[in-house]
Amino acid sequence: MRFAVLGDLHFTEYSTPEFSQARDYTFTSFFTQLRWRQPDLVFAIGDTINRGTIAELVEQERVVHRSGVKLIRLLGNHDNDLLEKSELKPWFLGSFNSAGEDGLYTAFDYEHCRFVIMDTARVKMSHIDYGGIVLEPQLKWLEAQVEDFNSAVNLQYLIVLGHHPFANTTHRSEKPMLFISNGDEVLKIFGKLRRGQGLYFCGHNHSHSIYGPVAGNWFIVQAGAPFECEGYRLVTVDKDGLELETVDFDMNEPELRNSFELTRRNIEGGFELHLFEDMYGKPEDRELYIKR
Ligand SMILES: [Fe+2]
Ligand SMILES: [Fe+2]
């Protein structure tokens, strides 16, 4: 099986039609290129939208649908800036219901993988604290997931996805609010994994980075924002093991490059762009192979 992880998309609305068109052109191209690689599942790791409005989600869904992709969205701080989690619910977790009332989180199995989608977003707090947090009920639920995985011998990979990284692991995660504030509690739970391989995918810090092993047998994979890194993570799991590659979008078409620049440079309220070479990742941040 194969799954893709898209970093922070920061899809937004523009008051200038030219920029809206550029946005649609850019994302249609990105999602179409992604579909060519035929992933079974596509995750958007949070900050899927920029301001946190339903209008952004409606527009994004239109482009996603037109491109033939089904997106499983996770909550990031930007998604949760204006609305309650209950209001955002129809747009997140794909077709899954949340396993708890304190956030939008769920788990499901696909072939030899268990996917655990976490919610690390604070509600309407980005203006003062855009860091992550995992509340007590979700922590308990996560622990039950790990214990259940330990006894599920048909499963080999525990794939956890959450928007925020862990402090002092992946690139930039040592900076204020670029991590889960109670991440040590989450890592303690990860440490209870007794068999198989754990992987945690995150976004938020906008750069491609891989860290590990940590908490026993876990790797942390940070997916860079397409607006900064121009690519996404693609993971193939087969009988030999797990292979992670980083796929760069083909940006050779001048119209795509031009649309991409218009889209990312005209986000209302601003979008901080960093140096491409700082965010793209070193070779060891872009590939990972785990033999079974
Ligand atoms: Fe972001
Ligand atoms: Fe974020």
Cα(13)–Cα(164) distance, integer angstroms: 24
For residue 7, which ligand has an atom nearest its CA? 1
The alpha carbons of the chain give a radius of gyration, in whole angstroms, of 18
For residue 126, which ligand has an atom nearest its CA? 2
Q: What is the pLDDT averaged over residues 263-291?
A: 96
* pLDDT band at residue 2 using 50, 70 and 90 as cut-offs: very high
* pLDDT band at residue 232 using 50, 70 and 90 as cut-offs: very high
pTM comes to: 0.98
Q: Are 278 and 206 in contact (CB under 8 A)?
A: no
Structure confidence at residue 270 (pLDDT) = 82
Q: What is the pLDDT averaged over residues 149-174?
A: 98
Chain-wide mean pLDDT for the chain?
97
What are the pLDDT digits (tens) for 110-157? Answer: 999 999 999 999 999 999 999 999 999 999 999 999 999 999 999 999
Residue 21 has pLDDT above 90, yes or no: yes
Q: What is the DSSP letter of 89?
A: G
35 CA to middle of ligand 1, Å? 23
Cα(267)–Cα(47) distance, integer angstroms: 14
Strands 209-214 and 218-222, by their bridges, are antiparallel
271 CA to middle of ligand 1, Å? 9
Structure confidence at residue 246 (pLDDT) = 98
* pLDDT band at residue 269 using 50, 70 and 90 as cut-offs: confident
216 CA to middle of ligand 1, Å? 28
For residue 120, which ligand has an atom nearest its CA? 2
What are the phi and psi torsion angles at 184 (to 5°)? -65, -35
Cα(223)–Cα(202) distance, integer angstroms: 6
120 CA to middle of ligand 2, Å? 10
Cα(91)–Cα(135) distance, integer angstroms: 21
